[in-house]
Amino acid sequence: MKINDSHIPVLNSEFILEKFDNEILLYSVAGTTAVYLNETGYLVWCLCNENRPIGKIIALLEEAYPEQRRYIRDDVIAVINSLAENEVIVLNNE
Amino acid sequence: MSNNGTYIAGFSGLNIEIGYNNPDAKLLIDFLLGDLQAEPSLVPEIRYDVLVVGRPPKVSLWQGDKLLYFGNSKYTLAYILINEMIYRFIVDHKADLAIHAAALSYSNTGILIPGKSGSGKSTLAAWLTSKGFNYLTDELIFLSKNGVIKPLIRPISLHSDSVSALDDLLNPVKEQILAGQSGIMVPHLVLNTNHVPCTPVVSRILFPEYKHGFGVELTKLSSAKSCFKLIECHVNARNMPDHGFGQLAALTRQTKSYQLTYGGFDGLLDRLRPILFDDK
């Protein structure tokens, strides 16, 4: 699936969260799947919690971390792709 | 006097009865299951039979009327029997987490070595046992809520492709090894006679990765990464309310964990000593 800025990530509520300092693990009992997220992944995952389109998530992070601006889009897309592949999120159209 | 009889082996709440037809069969069972002490209050729930007949001997393994193995190889029979029993011990066990792991102890320090088949956990456990560590298991532990290791003690089982790494260790004791085409089983007592059965608390977790020709690399793992890797080795998740996720997370939060990549043993002990014996 080709991701675009208007897709809205929606969290899969089957995943249990365990927070370890700045990293998290998500675990789905139904799917017996574990997903590891580093600090960046965790941040993106948190921003997926309020029905924001991906473009808005990128814009929020670019505003918060202007010095990282040139990396943020690729990082966010990579995390979103990984979360979608592991069924942590589903992507809806705006 | 009859040569046949039954042997009862037990592990963590389940006894299994093994019938045998002669002293050769009994010797094989002693070799394989001698460390699995039956719990006297429990009635065995499952029975297997080991038969050795003929010259040259043929061996067979039965569960009731079902033939599980017939052939020339005592090693293959032993391999099938122990794996059948491990499955039985795990399948309905709900009291503890079952972790696919080797385990050792040293001065009451419990060292967990989790890994999938082929990761090098048995090879590492064998070598460390020969260096004075107390062997507990190379295959399975039950882990209680308070972090106590209950090890399934059995002979160390090595795949044939990892045997050469331990040639110096194994050649002097080869008469006591049970060998087959795909691997060998080594009685742990021939590597370290000072075995003390014990149930230590986990103090360190080492995730091994054997890479032929590699040196030694030791990397500290974050709690999250350790938990992620431990989940892959948790084999009775379906028996637990949350698949044991919370318990694994708690364990890895309070236990130092390392990734150990190794291709030989030169310098290995010097690298491990500081992380195994530093302040807990």
**What local confidence, expressed as pLDDT, does residue B1 receive?**
53
B224 with A32: Cβ contact below 8 A: no
| Domain covering B97-277 in this structure, CATH number | 3.40.50
Residue B3 has pLDDT above 90, yes or no: no
Domain ranges of chain B: 5-91, 97-277
Q: How far is B24 from chain A (nearest CA, A)?
A: 44
**What local confidence, expressed as pLDDT, does residue B2 receive?**
67
Residues in Cβ contact with B272 at an 8 Å cutoff, skipping those fewer than 6 apart: B128, B206, B218, B260
Instruction: Give contacts of B 187-246 with A, CB under 8 A.
Output: 222-225, 227-228, 231-232, 237-238, 242-243, 245-246
d(CA B145, CA B74): 38
> For the segment B192-226, what is each residue's pLDDT rounded down to a tens digit?
999 999 999 999 999 999 998 899 999 999 999 99
Domain ranges of chain A: 8-92
**What local confidence, expressed as pLDDT, does residue A21 receive?**
87
d(CA B177, CA B157): 10
Residue B146 has pLDDT above 70, yes or no: yes
Task: Name the residue with tokens 């059995």.
Answer: B154
What are the structure tokens assigned to B265, written together? 């043993």
Instruction: Name the CA radius of gyration of chain A, rounded.
Output: 13
Task: Name the residue with tokens 């897709």.
Answer: A7
Residue B278 has pLDDT above 80, yes or no: no
Give the residue from A24, A36, A45 with the most B CB atoms within 10 Å of its CB, the best one to mutate: A36
d(CA B207, CA B185): 22
> For the segment A19-50, what is each residue's pLDDT rounded down to a tens digit?
998 899 999 988 889 999 998 899 999 999 88
Contact B73, B96 (CB under 8 A): no
Chain B residues inside the 8 Å CB shell of A25: 224, 227-228, 231, 245, 249
**What local confidence, expressed as pLDDT, does residue B162 receive?**
87
d(CA B204, CA B278): 10
Contact B253, A18 (CB under 8 A): no
Instruction: Tell me if residue A42 falls in helix, strand or coil.
Output: helix
CATH topology for A8-92?
Outer Surface Protein A; domain 3 (3.90.930)
Task: Name the residue with tokens 């190794």.
Answer: B262
Average pLDDT, chain B: 95
> For the segment B33-91, what is each residue's pLDDT rounded down to a tens digit?
999 999 999 999 999 999 999 989 999 999 999 999 999 999 999 999 999 999 999 99
**What local confidence, expressed as pLDDT, does residue B279 receive?**
59
Q: What's the distance, CA B48 to chain centroid?
A: 20
Instruction: Give contacts of A 1-60 with B, CB under 8 A.
Output: 16, 18, 20-21, 23-25, 27, 29, 32, 34, 36
Q: Considering only alpha carbons, which residue of chain B is nearest residue A34?
A: B228
ipTM greater than 0.95, yes or no?
Answer: no
What are the structure tokens assigned to B180, written together? 């087959």
Residues in Cβ contact with B13 at an 8 Å cutoff, skipping those fewer than 6 apart: B39, B42, B93, B95
d(CA A52, CA A49): 8
